[in-house]
Amino acid sequence: MSALKHITISNYKTNSGKTTDISLSYQVFGLSLGEAPIVLVIHALTGNSNVIGENGWWNDLIGENKCIDTKAYTILAFNIPGNGYDNNPENLIENYRDFTARDIANLFALGLEELEIENLFAAIGGSVGGGIAWELAALNPNLIQHLIPIATDWKSTDWLIANCHIQDAILNHSSTPLADARMHAMTLYRTPESLTQKFHRTKKEETLFNIESWLNHHGHTLTNRFSLPAYKMMNQILRTIDICEDRGGFLEVASQIKSCIHLVTINSDLFFKPEENWNAYVELKSVKENVTINEIKSIHGHDAFLIEFDQLARFLKPIFKVKANAFKTISKCVA
């Protein structure tokens, strides 16, 4: 397992005007920094920087001779501050409402600066991680050669904000906040069809359906490995994705991004609706050539980006087979 390293960012001023010290932790996999093109991987809500290896959450996609080959690339993964992965209570963030997704992108940019990284071959993330990737690209339009937002959007929609609001209420008012919030979230990450295929109304016990047992299990598991301040923080970041705030309209902002943009959406996603990604693609295509979109076909909803690895790898392989040329030479996306 790659060692967890730390960068201290002193006197960081949030977009809300609050000043604080931040411990930014990260891991590096594959080739060492400076030896190969860098792929920044940004984790989802309950994820972390442990991308591959023991308990690695993207082992199916990243590794030796896999879609993103660790023999050819350096994999860099920051922890979103406050996610609790370093097990240091001092680094949990109690004042979570002071932070936004743009703050996280700012902190990642400062981390890259500290590591003397001026160019990323790719920035890839799923769900909230993809939203932060969007924010990072908008913050520094010349940084990323290939921007790959998966099962996400450039903004938190009203639907997403509504569900984050419910999550926040559960996290602040329930007697078992982590378990209850996680159970609610799991019904959004999957679809009715996915749950029907998995359970068929079967029972574990006379008075307990298997779907209820499954939800209880997910709630219990998260309670054992996550902290309440971390969940509140991550939920806050999820509800505040917006690359356009104080910058202008979507086309005005996104057209400045020099990256090849590869959108990956999911046809059954009930959380980040695919229509939003298709609309963004059509808009972007009117002003920008180097943008593509692929759609995962699945009954499993939002979680399909953690399930349908064959489809995801098929979309991404053409990108990661391309030699990482100097960024200024990149003009068109691979098909």
Per-residue pLDDT tens over the stretch 268-306: 999 999 999 999 999 999 999 999 999 999 999 999 999
Query: Tokens standing for 62?
Result: 């990243």
Same domain, 119 and 26: yes
**Domain boundaries, position 227:** 166-238
Residue 335 domain-assigned? no
pLDDT confidence of residue 112: 98
Q: How far is residue 239's CA from residue 185's CA, in Å, rounded to a whole number?
A: 14
Of 238, 262, 278, which residue is a domain's last?
Answer: 238
Grade residue 328 by pLDDT with cuts at 50, 70 and 90. very low
Same domain, 217 and 297: no
- Indicate the SS3 state at residue 16: coil
Domain count along the chain: 2
Backbone phi and psi for residue 119, each to the nearest 5 degrees, phi listed first: -150, 135
Same domain, 130 and 153: yes
Of 238, 256, 289, which residue is a domain's last?
Answer: 238
Residue 226 domain-assigned? yes
| Residue 326 reports pLDDT greater than 50 | no
What's the whole-number mean pLDDT along residues 62-90? 95
The DSSP code sequence of 204-272 is: EETTEEHHHHHHHHHHHHHHHH--HHHHHHHHHHHTT-BTTTTT--HHHHHTT--SEEEEEEETT-SSS
Q: How far is residue 276's CA from residue 243's CA, in Å, rounded to a whole number?
A: 14
Tell me the pLDDT tens digit for each residue of 150-184: 999 999 999 999 999 999 999 999 999 999 999 99
Same domain, 227 and 246: no
Same domain, 103 and 217: no
Grade residue 87 by pLDDT with cuts at 50, 70 and 90. confident
Grade residue 2 by pLDDT with cuts at 50, 70 and 90. confident
What's the whole-number mean pLDDT along residues 39-55? 96
Query: Tokens standing for 282?
Result: 């059509």
Same domain, 253 and 318: yes
Q: What is the CATH number of the domain that holds 57?
A: 3.40.50.1820
Single pTM value for the model: 0.95
Grade residue 331 by pLDDT with cuts at 50, 70 and 90. very low
Tell me the pLDDT tens digit for each residue of 98-141: 999 999 999 999 999 999 999 999 999 999 999 999 999 999 99
Same domain, 91 and 56: yes
Is residue 68 within 8 Å of 316, Cβ to Cβ?
yes
Residue 334 domain-assigned? no
| Residue 1 reports pLDDT greater than 70 | no
Tell me the pLDDT tens digit for each residue of 315-324: 999 999 965 5
List the alpha helices (DSSP H) in 140-208.
158-173, 177-189, 192-199
Residue 319 domain-assigned? yes
What's the whole-number mean pLDDT along residues 208-218? 98
State the chain's mean pLDDT as an integer: 95
Residue 296 domain-assigned? yes
Of 200, 216, 238, which residue is a domain's last?
Answer: 238
What's the whole-number mean pLDDT along residues 235-263? 97
Same domain, 102 and 82: yes
Torsion of CA 242, 57, 271, 184, to 10 degrees: -120
| Residue 329 reports pLDDT greater than 80 | no
Same domain, 179 and 306: no
Q: What is the CATH number of the domain that holds 229?
A: 1.10.1740.110
Same domain, 145 and 213: no
pLDDT confidence of residue 330: 40
Same domain, 190 and 287: no
Same domain, 66 and 213: no
Closest CA to 288 of 317, 252, 235: 252
What's the whole-number mean pLDDT along residues 209-238? 97
Angle, CA 317 vertex, CA 50 and CA 242 arms, to 5°: 60
